[in-house]
Amino acid sequence: MLVLLVLGFAGGVPNVLVTTVTQAWTSSAGWSVTAIGALTFCTLPYALKFLWALGASTHRPRAWHRMDSW
């Protein structure tokens, strides 16, 4: 159970870094509001993960099929 907790936490860390830390850093660095707003497009892969994750797990390149023996 601890492993699942750690993996879930590690999966959410990049989203938190992109959404909060990066916006705070860019605003303190003097970036414009428009540029900071454009950074929200970096969060789209995380927000739409439920759409692309199924395709990524079912349609893998042939080289990745060797990993099935793990």
Per-domain residue ranges of the chain: 2-69
Rounded distance between C-alpha atoms, residue 44 and residue 42, angstroms: 6
pLDDT beyond 80 at 30: yes
Alpha-carbon Rg for the chain in angstroms: 17
Average pLDDT over residues 1-27: 81
What per-residue confidence (pLDDT) applies to 21?
84
Is 61 in a helix, a strand, or coil?
A: coil
Q: Is the pLDDT of residue 29 over 90?
A: yes
pLDDT at 33 over 70: yes
Residue 52 in this model has a pLDDT that exceeds 90: no
Is the pLDDT confidence value at 70 over 70? no
What is the rounded distance in angstroms from the CA atom of residue 8 to the CA atom of residue 13? 9
Residue 6 has pLDDT above 60, yes or no: yes
